[in-house]
Amino acid sequence: MLQFTNATYLDFNCPEIAKNQRDAIDAVRSKFGKEYPNYIDGKESITDKKTISTNPANPSEIIGVFQKAGQKEADAAIKAAAKAFETWRYVPAEVRANYLFHAADEIRSRRLEINAWMISEIGKTYLEADADTCEAIDFLEFYGREAIRYAQPQELVEFPGELDEYLYVPLGVGVVIPPWNFPFAIMTGITVSAIVTGNTVVLKPSSDTPMMAWLLADIMKRIGLPDGVLNYLVASGGEAGDFLVEHPLTRFISFTGSKDVGLGIFEKANKVSPGQKWIKRVVAEMGGKDGIIVDSEADVDAAAAAVCGAAFSFQGQKCSACSRAMVDAKVYDEFVEKLKENVAKLTIGDPSDNPSMGPSANKSQYETVLKYIEIGKTEGKLVCGGNKIENEKHGFFVEPTVFIDLKEDSRLMQEEIFGPVLAVCKVKDYDHALKVANNTEYGLTGAVFTKNPHKIERAKREFHCGNLYINRKCTGAMVGVHPFGGFNMSGTDSKAGSRDYLALFLQGKSIASK
Residues annotated catalytic, as ranges? 285, 319
Distance separating alpha carbons of residues 50 and 65, to the nearest angstrom: 7
Of 312, 282, 326, 298, whose CA–CA distance to 440 is shortest? 326
**DSSP tag of 286:** -
Of 308, 339, 319, whose CA–CA distance to 257 is shortest? 319
Coil/strand/helix, residue 506: strand
Coil/strand/helix, residue 512: strand
Side-chain-side CA neighbours of 94 within 13 Å: the count stands at 2
Give residue 269's Cα distance to chain centre.
Answer: 21
Q: Which residues contact 293 (CB under 8 A, 6 or more apart)?
A: 325, 326, 327, 427, 430, 433, 434, 437, 446, 447, 448, 449, 450, 459, 463
Of 1, 5, 19, 2, whose CA–CA distance to 352 is shortest? 19
Of 504, 416, 480, 503, whose CA–CA distance to 179 is shortest? 416
* Strand 163-170 relative to strand 506-513, pairing: antiparallel
**Amino acid type, 291:** G
**Amino acid type, 489:** M
Distance separating alpha carbons of residues 286 and 451, to the nearest angstrom: 32
Distance separating alpha carbons of residues 291 and 15, to the nearest angstrom: 35
Of 204, 201, 209, 203, whose CA–CA distance to 183 is shortest? 209
**Residue 13 class from Cβ within 10 Å (0-12 exposed, 13-18 middle, 19+ buried)?**
exposed
Give residue 249's Cα distance to chain centre.
Answer: 26
**DSSP for 193-259?**
HHHHTT-EEEE---TT-HHHHHHHHHHHHHTTPPTTSEEE--B-IIIIIHHHHH-TTEEEEEEES-H
